[in-house]
Amino acid sequence: MRRKVRRSTTSGGAAWPASSRSSLGWFGSIEFGSCSSRFAIAAECASNGDELDREILVTARGPHRSPRTRFEGVCSRSFAARFGPERTKSTWLFVSENTAPDFSADTTDGTLRFHEWLGDSWGVLFSHPKDFTPVCTTELGEVARLKPEFDKRNVKVIGLSVDPVSDHRAWAGDIAETQGHALNFPLIGDPDRTVSKLYDMIHENADNTLTVRSVFVIGPDKKVKLTITYPASTGRNFEEILRTIDSLQLTAKHSVATPVNWKHGQRCIIVPSLSDAAAREKFGEFETVKPYLRYVPDPTT
């Protein structure tokens, strides 16, 4: 990792010691090429009048960050005191294109090693809060119903909660009875929360004993391509997750992006980095609405 630090002083006039740098908290912006996503995880510290001491620009080149990732922000000792480095490091782990952590776990289909189980397939890892609960029952029944659609896309699906595997198996009968579809994919039993913590599926501001409704879409390269988190009260739309997988698989192979509400077979947008000449060579004719907005038929149809 390469760091460029512009150091200021604390209110007492002395710079923070080097030993404190590893426990600093961050807020600012994250940039990925032309895209920028803003966040304010230290907003509470700022609103309480805490010292925001040092501006830092970090270019991350470690194994869990893309070489193009840039962090710009401000450090706060009080933020680190509240959340700690263990809490903050997992936040950066699941920025898109970072490697999904490997693990070994007990499941309803036996013990598996995650990366080995994925093989060269795409994967969806999703968590639910609790077995024998109403929303989760409907969700797992829906995933079982849609399993052929995931299979068509070369996507392996695996679920997780902090319940033991024995509870998963007992609950499976209720899912089949009430939803009309039996479980046809593995469920991870994670009573010690090892995998849940590894994937930051337990949010302390919600319920620190249960997993939230997290979704991770993972590519054949074992990189995280997409993450979504839903509150406990809101069941997921797995048709939408299939739609995002269609987009991810399409855009991974072709120089296109997908517009709002896009579905497989509909027209796509040529990426801005492709010149008109290169676009004509690649796609033939295309529609230009603005120099930055160029439509082309779905290259896969």
Question: What are the φ/ψ torsions at residue 244 (nearest 5 degrees)?
Answer: -65, -35
Catalytic residue among 35, 45, 75, 136: 136
Residues 269, 259 contacting (CB under 8 angstroms): yes
Is 75 known to be catalytic? Answer: no
Beta strands in the chain (DSSP E): 2-6, 25-32, 35-39, 54-59, 69-76, 104-107, 110-113, 122-127, 155-161, 187-189, 213-218, 224-230, 256-257, 268-270, 287-290, 293-296
Q: Which of the 8 DSSP states describes residue 100? A: P
Tokens 């198996």 correspond to 169
What is the Cα–Cα distance from 297 to 301, expressed in whole angstroms?
A: 8
Tokens matching residue 59? 């270019």
User: Which residues have a catalytic role annotated?
Assistant: 136
